[in-house]
Structure 1
Amino acid sequence: MEMDSHILLQLNMAMPYGKYRGRRLIELPEPYLVWMARQGFPAGKLGQALALAHEIKVNGLEQMLLPLLNGRAP
């Protein structure tokens, strides 16, 4: 998967539909992202950002990125 340099910023994007509508992608619960990975992520930038959020969560990297996504340097 080729990464767009702005993909990390898309993790701040609000989920546009479903149970977690309005929640930032990085804040989606890991079990939901795992379920979505099994179902197949949607096409396009949303799917790419959801796949990245999934990888970040399952590898325990969320705490490292939150300061960057919240606009605070660690």
Structure 2
Amino acid sequence: EFGHLSLGQLEFSFSAEAVSENAAGVQCKQKQWKALARDKNKRTTLKVRIEAVKNSVLSKHLQDTEEDVGIKRQ
């Protein structure tokens, strides 16, 4: 698990994993940003996958998210 966040009635879990570069090397290594949101009352689970083409895009997104909502990395 990459990180954990509780916000009101929602509970989020974050994870990231590397995706291999294509053979031609045209694209930078992609990373998948997976977020899991669970409603504490209804136990509803939502899975979200966001693919960032460039590592810097993912890193910037994580930094902004941490600053905005105060995610603590584990």
**TM-score over 0.5 for the pair:** no
> Comparing both structures, which one devotes a greater share of its residues to strand?
2
> Comparing both structures, which one devotes a greater share of its residues to helix?
1
| TM-score normalized with structure 2 length | 0.31
The structure with more radius of gyration: 2
